[in-house]
Amino acid sequence: MTDLTNQTEQARNWFEALRTRICNEFEAIEREAGSDAAFDFAEWHREEEGNPDPGGGMRGLMKGRVFEKVGVNVSTVRGAFAPEFAGTINGASADSPGFTATGISLVAHMANPHVPAVHMNTRFLVTGKAWFGGGADLNPPLPYAEDTEDFHARFRAACAAHNPTYYERFRKWADEYFYIPHRGVHRGVGGIFYDHLECPDDAAFARNFAFTKDVGEAFLDIYPKLVRRRMGSAFSDADKLQQLEWRGRYAEFNLVYDRGTLFGLKTGGNIDAILMSLPPEAVWT
């Protein structure tokens, strides 16, 4: 018999360990740039009437010389969806709105416009079904073909180790998802996005968990390399303006279309953690 509580704890432990490793690596990059910036961690607790154990999470935020603003959040929450929202979630319904969700979410906005911003998240949800989802996408204000190819190549390799169809499926899904319809543009140069990797038994859980872990490892491997490649590049006022205008597009997507933002707001998440994805500065011209 599948032990969903144990599976949730396995996923939670992995997400928290990945958070620590990512934060350590990002702080190491700040040291290389001569900065003593470090993550500030704030614990938060979810509240839900009639729920004695609604869970919560930890928001990590750093503002440094290289990372103008980077947030790395982990959370594990339990409760019930509002009936009108439950019908939009895989495995949930108005008659069965209960859920458990654990995950990691990361967004980095960079000081140097030549360094690509990035988003990454992975998660495990239990409703009437249990499944993994997540992905990562690169968001450069000033795209470099080399960076785009290296980012995609790393995730292509991660996907290929598990299923030969994953990369093309999940790359296409990212292109479709990270799109701003009212602007008619993609918000970046893509990556992978996946959802509803269902775990009806222990074997499926082990298989999908292994893939999700490799997504995290791929991110931790490739993104710091891209940061180090570009963080010393000289930039102009025009470059900075292009970055700020692009950040406006990023904010529009996250506030209007992003599922994670909606999920957090609909489940009583921490507002600061939910909106940590917004850039520290942006312009609309």
- Is 162 noted as a catalytic residue in this protein? no
What CA dihedral angle connects 10, 164, 186 and 29, to 10 degrees?
50
CA-CA distance, 28 to 45, in Å (whole number)?
29
Q: Strand ranges (DSSP E) for the chain?
A: 40-45, 55-62, 67-80, 98-110, 117-126, 130-139, 179-180, 185-186, 190-198
- φ/ψ bin of 184: left (φ > 0), alpha (ψ from -120 to 50), beta (otherwise): left
| Burial (CB count <10 Å: 0-12, 13-18, 19+), residue 166 | buried
Residues 6+ apart with CB under 8 A from 271: none
Q: Which residues pair with 135 in a beta bridge?
A: 121, 193
Catalytic residue among 109, 114, 119, 186: 119
Angle, helices 202-230 vs 4-32, to 10°: value is: 10
Alpha-carbon separation of residue 226 from 149, 151, 237, 246 (angstroms): 11, 8, 22, 19
The closest of 147, 121, 144 to 132, measured between CA atoms, is 121
CB burial of residue 170 (10 Å; 0-12, 13-18, 19+): buried
Catalytic residues: 119
